[in-house]
Amino acid sequence: MYTPAIIVRLRPVTPWRIGPDSGSHEQAAPLLHNDALFGAICEAMGQLGMLEEWLAAAAPAYGAPACRITSAFPFQRTALYVPPPAGIWPPPSASGRQRWKGATLIPAGAVRDLLKGTQLKEDDWFVDAHSGCLVPVGTRATTGPFRILHRSFAAVDRLNPAAVLPRTVACLQFAPGSGLWFAVAFDNPTAYAIWAPKIEQALRVLADTGIGGLRSAGFGRSRPPLIQPGVLEEMLLPGIAVSQPGSKGAWWTLSLFNPAASDQVDWSAGHYQLIERSGRSGGVLKRSTRLVREGSVLVAPSAPMGRCLDVTPDSASHPVLRPGFAVSLSIPWQVAQ
């Protein structure tokens, strides 16, 4: 089964503030989790007057959503960086010179080669220590897709100008031709026809208003998004065999995932890690939940679906949702073993 999808490239024109899982202001995350990206799109849909319709389609309480969103990862020119499938990274180093384990994000093309059994040549790659990305040698890229910079701010008390509270915040500064990409997978062609144009409208709003933290300081802005339609499997992993429903298969996740009751995941197999997500809504702490991290490899007879979680704080005046729907790609079963 193939998935109609779009790949969206966000091209930043200002630094971006993406908070890490630790919540530290001195650090910045190299990716934007799909629950945070979903919240940004919800905000834009609200400005366009389509929020209720969007939530009914993308965050249903029961059943499959019309569209599912991956987390947002860096890209650099034609290279789409992804968290490698757990269990195949790092590969063995023939000479010991290349420290593969220093890379936490690698191009999708390198994942395809590894899944086909092709050994990566150490002289063709270098690990960018600043971004943790595996960068090909011999291209115009001499650095990774971004650097982590620190910007200083100061809060001044208007009633007492002598009272100043300085602070330093980490942010991402993207290299030319770089930015963040994510995919939207649609349940069927009808859902694609209905929602792809509306999602593009929402992303154009976000290009002006910004995504992430420090938007009031001008962070998180980008150029109009670039949209690439197609089939998700063919755009990311062309030539990789797809598991047939009903047989044991391995699924590589590109989003956070919270299993639904109908998901038949074999938790005794595969390679996966959990992440705890919290955050705030209107200044109030949301309920904390654990989800399966991006880059995990799950073993199941069919693609994991997931569910949407209600994380509404007790004092909130409106529902707060955290999507845990999985966007996953079928990979060879040998990887999961």
2: confidence class by pLDDT, cuts 50, 70, 90? confident
| Average pLDDT across the chain, whole number | 89
Average pLDDT of span 39-67: 94
pLDDT of 266 higher than 80: yes
Average pLDDT of span 32-48: 96
Q: Per CATH, the architecture of 1-77+140-236 is what?
A: 2-Layer Sandwich (3.30)
pLDDT in tens, 55-84: 999 999 888 999 999 999 999 999 999 999
Q: What residues contact 268, with CB distance under 8 A and at least 6 apart?
A: none
pLDDT of 38 higher than 90: yes
Average pLDDT of span 17-24: 87
Contact yes or no for 237/108 (Cβ under 8 A): yes
Query: Rounded to an integer, what distance in angstroms lies between the CA atom of residue 167 and that of residue 76?
Result: 31
Residue written as tokens 């994942």? 111
Quote the percentage of the chain above a pLDDT of 90. Answer: 64
Residue written as tokens 């209107």? 282
pLDDT of 144 higher than 80: yes
Where exactly are the structural domains of the chain? Answer: 1-77+140-236, 239-337
